[in-house]
Amino acid sequence: MLPIYQPYLPKECLKYAHDALDSTWISSQGIYIDKAKDLLKETLGSKYVILINNGTCATHMLALGLKFKYPQIKKILVPNNVYVAAWNSFLFSDGFELIPIDANPDTWNMDTDKIGKYGNDTALLAVHNLGNIVNVPRLKKLHPELLIVEDNCEGIFGKHDGSYSGTESLMSSFSFFGNKTITSGEGGAVFTQDEELFEYLNSVRGQGQSSVRYIHNKLGYNYRMTNIQAALLYGQLLIYKEIREKKAEVFEMYRKELESVEEISFQKEEPGTEHAQWMFGLRFNKFDLTRKRMLELFLFENNIETRPMFYPINTHEHLTHIKGETKIALQLNHQCLLLPSFPELTRSQVLTVCRKIKEFVRTQGRS
């Protein structure tokens, strides 16, 4: 079975994890915590970085940061077709109302043209679906009244107006899960340029520890990254350019092979942005859900693993009470499919995937 994703882990990037194991510093202290943090800051250009145990907890930190510094915030504008962790992270903390915005049919992200005017009780969560970057600097100019935080879990190394995604919002979360462009197995991070937020969140992720050991001056969580995770992350960061080059080749091969198929369209990039190229997706413009599921089964029977596009927010049982327009999000869910997108995909494997897709469209997709 050709998997949807597998991490790129050459021996040279694993030696740091082995070193961390040999050092016996296997918990949340050790030299690689600072090494990985400093290299993230240097690579992506954030003043402050906090390493977290996973991307969901990192996104929860955004909610905690808003409650701390902007307690008047009660409403969060959210895209209505993203991975569920983006929404859940703001529901872990009581007091937030999620207001979903329907998707843009071209970018598959939140349709920013549908954002109205809001008061100072509202923030916006930007999410970069599959690595397609929302132009956060543009949003800040168009909506100066909104505080913007950013779920950048799928968008690492993407760019908007020349800066890396995750560096221009109030706070942003990152994920280093096993299927992300760079990985520490699990793991995440929070970026901010705000010193007060950094000091607060850095304490909160470590049990609310004060400057005096075993004196805790706030409610905190155990969201710390381990030294082993940080060592693996450090090794990945050292070869991130190689990983990105490999993924760019994969994306280009898919586009070249499938651009002539009339029934297929690709995710479109917003002006002023560069796609992070995390996951490659296709839209089958005339498919309904039944036909898309037939394609999924056909590819599975040919040993090709795929994933559907994310579901609208109120599809999930615990979120059915959330109302909002879902027409485009539902359409994208019915028509979009995510393809194997890992760095070591060979040309032969990409050609096989494309050949099978063309075969299905030719024989069944046009009826």
The sign of the CA dihedral 103, 107, 109, 111 is negative
167/136 Cα distance (integer angstroms): 9
Span 172-185, average pLDDT? 98
* pLDDT for position 366: 55
Evaluate if residue 364 carries a pLDDT over 90.
no
Domain boundaries, the chain: 11-238, 240-365
Q: Is the confidence at residue 367, as pLDDT, over 60?
A: no
264-266 sheet: strands from edge to edge? 264-266, 280-284, 336-339, 307-308
What pLDDT, on a 0 to 100 scale, did the predictor assign at position 189?
98
Distance CA 200, CA 245 (A): 37
Residues 6+ apart with CB under 8 A from 144: none
Average pLDDT, rounded, for the chain: 96
pTM, two decimals, is 0.96
CA-to-CA separations, 303 to 179, 236, 300, 353, in angstroms, rounded: 19, 29, 5, 10
Please name the fold of domain 240-365. Aspartate Aminotransferase, domain 1 (3.90.1150)
- Of the pLDDT bands very low, low, confident and very high (cuts 50, 70, 90), residue 365 is low
Q: How far apart are CA 303 and CA 97, in angstroms?
A: 42
Per-residue model confidence as pLDDT tens digits over 275-319: 999 999 999 999 999 999 999 999 999 999 999 999 999 999 999
For the chain, the straight-line distance linking the first and the last C-alpha, in angstroms and rounded, comes to 28
3-state secondary structure (DSSP) of residue 352: helix
Q: What is the pLDDT of residues 43-81, one digit of tens each?
A: 999 999 999 999 999 999 999 999 999 999 999 999 999
Residue 112 confidence (pLDDT) above 70 = yes
Beta strands at 122-127 and 75-79: parallel, antiparallel or unpaired = parallel
Under the banding of pLDDT at 50, 70 and 90, the label for residue 325 is: very high
CA 73 to chain centre: 23
Beta bridge partners of 100: 78
Any idea which architecture 11-238 has in CATH? Answer: 3-Layer(aba) Sandwich (3.40)
Q: What is the mean pLDDT of residues 15-21?
A: 96
